[in-house]
Amino acid sequence: MPPKRAAASKRKLEEDSESEVDAATSKFASDASDSDAPSTSKPKAKKAKTTKAPKAAKPKPAKAAKPINDQPTNKTLPDEIQFPAKNEGCVRIATWNICGLAAAQKKGFKHYMEAEDADVLILTETKVNNDPVDPMLTNRYPHRYWSISDKKTYSGTAILSKIKPLSVDYTLPGHPDPKSIKGRIVTLEFESLYLIGTYVVNAGTGLKTLDAKNEWNKHFTTYIRDLDRKKPVIWGGDLNVAPTEIDLANPKTNWNKTPGYTEAETRAFAEILTPPEKEGAKPMIDTWRKMHPETRHYTYFSYRFNCREKGLGWRLDTCKFFIFVIWHSLILISLFLLVVGILLWWNMR
């Protein structure tokens, strides 16, 4: 895959990521697509910025100039960002882990927001401590729902919408430690569907919080299936899991070692998408993967080790949705149209 595109900036802050979905029909119907912000890099080698611990003072290779390739950096957004035009009557849903709203705004969050002009925007790792009142956000999105963690400047999930939801929920029902869930989930109920935005628990360095993540997965699975019995569900955000081996650059060396790609995490995720027979629940569709069955495309690049330039990334952020019998034909049709549109757009770039 051509090096041309990459997610906007920040991902889990370690990175950035972003994905987008268009829902067809005026009321939030179906179908989706995903895309990322374009790139263009800034060859700026700004090195003397971090005040690093003194320590044994290491030589520091003075990395000069900087390789000029067309990869973006994690420190700034491209100056020019373009997205496919929105289809008339479609609702565009996008998600982006911004790793700090304040930092993202300094990097050019506004340019992304204007270029994408999503109708519904899911933001994760906002790290805000109060509901932002910036006109830049409030003018475009009259309806804003911020889930804020108890822990200062930690996690944080928000959904900004041009469409007024019927109801809003910030909880994960059944979870034994509700405080730990604050800042991680926002559910909006619309007339025809539910939209869930999540910043899923990170399994932690050395997998030290894998237990907490398993707890989340257990209750989230129940929750999403309960909602599914009532209305179609679209789920997006930082899902903090690389679903399969083609969703990260180095599957072998990371398997069961690095958070986001362990047996427990991938299995839990797979069971959300494809419930075991006995449960009788309906499957979900990984929309981006559905449209690009074999493409290796990542939404996150670690800040460390110049992973972005090297293309060493993970696909952790995306949107999924449930299929319902009633919606079946509509989804197939709109999905087909969307795929055609995306392919055309992709090839023309």
Partner DNA sequence: TCTTTTAGATG
Partner DNA sequence: CTGTATGCG
Partner DNA sequence: CATCTAAAAGACCGCATACAG
What are the residues binding DNA (CB under 7 A)?
A: 10, 12-14, 49-55, 58, 74-75, 99-103, 107, 127, 129, 152-155, 202, 204-205, 209, 249-250, 253-254, 258, 302-305, 307, 310, 312, 314
Q: Contact 169/140 with Cβ under 8 angstroms?
A: no
226 is in an annotated binding site: no
CA separation for the pair 320, 32 (Å, rounded): 9
CB of 302 to DNA, least distance (A): 6
In angstroms, what is the minimal distance from the CB of 323 to DNA? 31
Catalytic residue flag (residue 199)? yes
CB of 19 to DNA, least distance (A): 17
Q: Which is closer to DNA, CB of 230 or CB of 304?
A: 304
Residue of 112, 141, 199, 300 marked catalytic: 199
Q: Which one from 238, 247, 286, 317 is the annotated catalytic residue?
A: 238
Residue 20 annotated as binding?
no
Residue 33 or residue 258: which is nearer to DNA going by CB? Answer: 258
Q: How is residue 296 written in tokens?
A: 């290796």
Q: 32 or 307: whose CB is closer to DNA?
A: 307
| 238 among known catalytic residues | yes
Of 60 and 164, which has the nearer Cβ to DNA? 60
- 246 burial level (CB within 10 Å; 0-12, 13-18, 19+): middle
Strand partners, 17: 97
Comparing C-alpha atoms, which of 273, 303, 301, 276 is closest to residue 288? 273
Q: Which is nearer to DNA, 54 or 276 (CB)?
A: 54
Q: Is 97 annotated as a binding residue?
A: yes
Nearest to 90 by CA among 327, 338, 321, 349: 338
For residue 87, the minimal CB distance to DNA (Å) is: 34
Cα distance between residue 24 and residue 87, in whole Å = 8
**Which residue's structure tokens are 């997205």?**
83
DSSP 87-142: PTT-EEEEEEE-S-HHHHHHHTHHHHHHHH--SEEEEE----SS----HHHHTT-S
Residue positions in the annotated binding site for Mg(2+)?
97, 125, 238, 240
Show which residues are catalytic. 199, 238
